[in-house]
């Protein structure tokens, strides 16, 4: 039995479940007269007759499949999986830190918290009523109530325990200490609620409505274990065992930078040819959503010495450095040169679309991981989802690194370059007949920020699929905030 999908907070799923993310697990329907002819080695996904087929729509022009990238050296071409594996194998596990319990919320516990105390600390009433002896009240019936003498009243917080004997009762509030001699609390609503004498209409069995000391936690018992995500219930338990602070896996500190001679800051009106830096904002937001402590460090300077100073200072204060647009201008690049001076950057053509230009390295004295992603804002957020978010979750200690995926029926034809894994922003909705239907919001070739902002998922089309016919099944990764 596998754990319920818990939004990736670490109680379910196994490390490495991401392989599923990319698999288009679809039944192959028999070819139909109208089905496009498959290229050798390429798959064409046609509708399964048993799935709901939405109203036909105009087919949009898909991206034009790219011919093989002969100009790129073979050792620089790499699959999504290989690039991701290398990043995940190299990201460090930041050392645990001690935080105030409220600041630990959402993080994973990094110590075995054992209780020095018993919880409850003393035998107590579980509700408002009368502490009594079970044998005195066991025969009580509404038509034949048992009368007890009320010897007093005990409220929660009262220190000195009293005691009762046969035929006696102590009025108790929920949480009040049980008097010695009592082994049951008769709920107030089972009595006439008398103050001098009380008529009991029913008696619980021995131990009824009594919380025994140590029932919940005995001294020395484990309370919160290593790897447990800390939420309100864990904070409740930590406070109860007297912990004001707790050791946790910290949020990784991520510096978000962007490179590009065309970039100006958001406060500036761009001149012709210039573009506002949106990536440092969007990626800092995405990194925070993934659980990181993200610093938006903005546009890299173009002066080589200042550029190197900025990179070095970011390497000193970060657990991971994220740079968008390193390869934006193509060919000779100051940022690439500055990075190369700091260590070995592996630049890659990853077989994905959009944004094959990716790089990764461990730079500086502390070998801080540096991930370079494309500067085009749609490709940047796709690369973030594919490579950076899993790395952040791994650094947080989460076991579930990847978003949950669902299979959805394509509401329109999707075309995809052979050999490239395509990620398309889309809108996925529940179909009234069951299952999901997905529509792309653009064709993936354009920098369509407004369309991307209307998307609620990424559609993943596998490397060996060149076309998904309308009605075919496709893998969809819902992009839920905080999910």
- Among 17, 92, 175, 227, which residue interacts with a copy of itself (rule: CB under 8 A)? 175
Instruction: Report 273-302 residues binding a copy of itself (CB under 8 A).
Output: 273-279, 281-286, 288-289, 296
**C-beta of 315: minimal distance to a copy of itself in Å?**
23
Comparing CB distances to a copy of itself, the nearer of 60 and 102 is: 102
The binder of a copy of itself chosen from 43, 51, 201, 399 (CB under 8 A): 201
Q: Is 443 left (phi over 0), alpha (psi -120 to 50) or beta?
A: alpha
Using the Cα atoms of residue 466, residue 469, residue 473 and residue 475 in order, give the sign of their dihedral.
positive
Closer of 88 and 379 to a copy of itself (Cβ): 379
* 228 versus 466: smaller Cβ distance to a copy of itself: 228
Task: Name the 3-class secondary structure at 313.
Answer: helix
Q: Of residues 155-174, which lie at the interface with a copy of itself (CB under 8 A)?
A: 155-161, 173-174
Cβ atoms of residues 119 and 242 within 8 Å: no
Using the rule CB under 8 A, is 64 a contact of a copy of itself? Answer: yes
Q: Is 66 in the site for a copy of itself (CB under 8 A)?
A: yes
Closest CA to 427 of 478, 361, 378, 380: 478
48 near a copy of itself, rule: CB under 8 A: no
Which CB atom, from 254 or from 363, has the smaller least distance to a copy of itself? 254
Q: Tell me the closest approach of the beta carbon of residue 445 to a copy of itself, in angstroms.
A: 6
Quote the least distance from Cβ 366 to a copy of itself, whole Å: 27
β-strands 113-114, 222-224: how paired?
Answer: antiparallel
- Cβ closest to a copy of itself, residue 43 vs residue 201: 201
CA angle 260/266/268 to nearest 5° reads: 90
CB 314 within 8 A of CB 254: no
Taking each helix axis from N to C end, the angle separating 334-342 and 304-317, rounded to the nearest 10 degrees, works out to 50
H-helix or E-strand spanning residue 377: helix 377-383
d(CA 397, CA 384): 18
Backbone torsions φ then ψ of 433, nearest 5 degrees: -90, 10
Q: Yes or no: say if 126 and 211 are a contact pair by the CB < 8 Å rule.
A: yes
Q: Which stretch binds a copy of itself (CB under 8 A): 43-51, 311-319, 334-342, 440-448?
A: 440-448
Q: Do 96 and 248 form a contact (C-beta atoms < 8 A)?
A: yes
Q: Residue 42 or 429: which CB sits closer to a copy of itself?
A: 429
Site for a copy of itself in 375-394 (CB under 8 A): 375-377, 381, 384
Number of residues engaging a copy of itself in binding (CB under 8 A): 130
Nearest Cα residue to 426 out of 416, 414, 435: 414
Please choose, out of 29-37, 87-95, 242-250, 336-344, the segment that lies near a copy of itself by the rule CB under 8 A.
Answer: 242-250
Pair type for strands 210-211 and 253-258: unpaired
Please report how close the Cβ of residue 165 comes to a copy of itself at its closest, in angstroms.
21
Of 34, 40, 70, 144, the one binding a copy of itself by CB under 8 A: 70
At a CB cut-off of 8 Å and minimum separation 6, what does 279 contact? 256, 258, 324, 325, 375, 377, 380
Q: How far is the CB of 466 from a copy of itself (least distance, A)?
A: 17
CB 171 within 8 A of CB 190: no
> Judged by CB under 8 A, does residue 144 bind a copy of itself?
no
- The residue from 11, 79, 347, 407 that contacts a copy of itself (CB under 8 A) is 11
Of 27-35, 307-315, 432-440, 465-473, the segment contacting a copy of itself by CB under 8 A is 432-440
Stretch that binds a copy of itself, among 81-89, 217-225, 337-345, 364-372 (CB under 8 A): 217-225
Work out whether 77 is an interface residue with a copy of itself (CB under 8 A).
no
| Range 80-139, binding a copy of itself (CB under 8 A) | 101-102, 105-106, 119-122, 126, 128
Q: Does 267 bind a copy of itself (CB under 8 A)?
A: yes
Residues 443-482 within binding reach of a copy of itself (CB under 8 A): 445-453, 455-457, 478-482
Tell the residue number behind the tokens 């650094």, with chain if given.
395
Q: Which is nearer to a copy of itself, 142 or 166 (CB)?
A: 142
Instruction: Select from 48, 329, 347, 407 the one that contacts a copy of itself (CB under 8 A).
Output: 329
Instruction: Name which position in 18, 130, 190, 387 contacts a copy of itself (CB under 8 A).
Output: 190
Burial per residue of 245-268, b for 16 or more beta-carbon CB atoms within 10 angstroms, e otherwise: ebbbbbbbbbbbbbbbeebeeeee
Which H helix or E strand runs over 257? strand 253-258
347 part of the interface to a copy of itself, by CB under 8 A = no
Tokens of 52: 């709901």
Task: Give the range of 25-33, 77-85, 258-266, 340-348 binding a copy of itself by CB under 8 A.
Answer: 258-266
Least CB distance from residue 24 to a copy of itself, whole Å? Answer: 19
Burial of 32 (0-12, 13-18, 19+ CB in 10 A): exposed
């Amino acid at each position: 039995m596998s754990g319920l999908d818990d939004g990736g907070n670490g109680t379910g799923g196994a490390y490495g479940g991401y392989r599923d993310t990319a698999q288009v697990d679809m039944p192959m329907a028999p070819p139909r007269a109208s089905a496009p002819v498959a290229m050798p080695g390429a798959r064409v996904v046609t509708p399964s007759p048993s799935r709901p087929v939405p109203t036909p729509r105009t087919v949009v022009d898909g991206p034009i499949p790219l011919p093989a990238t002969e100009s790129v050296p073979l050792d620089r071409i790499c699959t999504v999986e290989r690039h991701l594996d290398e990043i995940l194998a190299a990201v460090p596990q930041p050392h645990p830190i001690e935080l105030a319990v409220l600041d630990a919320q959402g993080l994973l516990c990094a110590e075995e918290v054992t209780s020095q105390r018993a919880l409850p600390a003393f035998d107590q009433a579980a509700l408002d009523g009368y502490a009594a002896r079970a044998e005195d009240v066991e025969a009580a019936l509404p038509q034949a109530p048992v009368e007890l003498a009320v010897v007093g009243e005990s409220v929660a917080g009262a220190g000195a325990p009293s005691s009762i004997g046969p035929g006696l009762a102590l009025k108790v509030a929920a949480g009040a200490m049980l008097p010695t001699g009592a082994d049951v609390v008769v709920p107030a609503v089972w009595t006439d609620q008398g103050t001098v004498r009380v008529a009991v209409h029913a008696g619980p069995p021995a131990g009824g409505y009594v919380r025994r000391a140590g029932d919940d936690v005995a001294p020395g018992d484990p309370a919160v274990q290593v790897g447990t995500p800390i939420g309100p219930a864990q904070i409740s338990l930590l406070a109860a065992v007297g912990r004001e602070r707790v050791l946790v896996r910290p949020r990784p500190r991520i510096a978000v930078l962007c490179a590009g001679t065309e970039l100006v800051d958001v406060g500036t009106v761009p001149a012709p040819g210039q573009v506002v830096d949106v990536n440092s904002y969007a990626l800092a937001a995405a990194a925070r959503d993934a659980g990181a402590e993200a610093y938006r460090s903005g546009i890299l300077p173009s002066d080589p010495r200042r550029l190197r100073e900025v990179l070095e200072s970011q390497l000193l204060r970060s657990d991971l450095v994220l740079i968008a647009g390193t390869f934006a201008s193509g060919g000779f690049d100051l940022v690439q040169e500055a990075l190369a001076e700091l260590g070995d950057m592996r630049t890659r053509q990853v077989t994905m679309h959009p944004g094959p230009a990716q790089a990764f390295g461990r730079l500086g004295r502390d070998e801080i991981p540096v991930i370079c992603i494309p500067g085009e804002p749609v490709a940047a957020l796709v690369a973030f989802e594919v490579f950076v978010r899993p790395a952040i979750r791994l650094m947080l200690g989460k076991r579930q690194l990847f978003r949950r995926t669902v299979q959805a029926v394509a509401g329109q034809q999707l075309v995809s370059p052979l050999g490239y894994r395509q990620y398309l922003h889309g809108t996925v909705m529940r179909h009234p007949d069951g299952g999901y239907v997905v529509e792309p919001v653009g064709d993936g070739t354009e920098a369509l920020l407004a369309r991307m902002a209307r998307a609620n998922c990424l559609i993943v089309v596998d490397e060996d699929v060149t076309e998904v016919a309308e009605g075919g099944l496709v893998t969809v990764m819902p992009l839920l905030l905080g999910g």
